[in-house]
Amino acid sequence: MDPRTLRSTYGRFATGVTVITCRTQDGHYHGATVTAFTPISLDPPLVQVALTRTAKAAGHLVGASFAVNVLAADQVDVAMHFAGRPSPDPLPWLDGARAPSLAGTAASIICDPWRADDGGDHVLFLGECVDVRATERAPLLFHDSAFHHIGQRTSDTVWLGCQDDPHAGWFDATARFHPAPARSS
């Protein structure tokens, strides 16, 4: 698989932009811009962040609490700062009991470490959500290697969950499935 083609293909998937923040072992604040963030579970409340193994943040997150800061549409400068293009403007740090977070975001999710797993050239960090802060601010998006703003709604329909869920979808909890008989040749 050609890495450039694969990366370009991954870029077709629009994502939100997050900055993962934590304290370093010596107590300093550290952050990294990350688009590989995924909500995983409601019970227990888990999220996943994928960080390149060589990223400084990957070393700081081992066993550490962290915050997932969902950047607001007007925070491109914050995204760029934590992506390696430092801004001369002061950063909007907020101190927290578990981990530092950022002010002005669309949302922040504070997590305790759950576990870390091998993700190839990345480390997959699972965090247990222990506190959240959400605002009405529109999120910053990333698609095809560029930042974007959210557009107009295309529907007033509210998605209420997966139709494959046995508690709400096509099948109820009493449904039983049996393998199809093998075909003879």
Report pTM. Answer: 0.81
Q: What is the pLDDT of residue 132?
A: 97
Domain contains 181? no
Residues of the chain scoring pLDDT < 50: none
Whether residue 107 contacts residue 134, with contact meaning beta carbons closer than 8 Å, is answered with yes
Domain contains 18? yes
Domain contains 74? yes
Q: What is the pLDDT of residue 172?
A: 60
Domain contains 145? yes
CATH number at residue 141: 2.30.110.10
> What is the C-alpha separation between 139 and 158, in angstroms, rounded?
18
- Tens-place pLDDT, residues 7-51: 787 777 678 999 999 999 999 999 999 989 999 999 999 999 999
Where in the sequence is the domain holding 28, given as residue range(s)? 3-149
Domain contains 71? yes
Q: What is the pLDDT of residue 160?
A: 62
Domain count, the chain: 1
Task: List % helix, strand, coil for the chain (3-state, nearest 5).
Answer: 10, 40, 50
Q: What is the pLDDT of residue 2?
A: 87
Edge to edge, the sheet with strand 29-34 lists 29-34, 18-23, 66-70, 107-119, 122-134, 45-52, 37-42
> What is the C-alpha separation between 175 and 84, in angstroms, rounded?
52
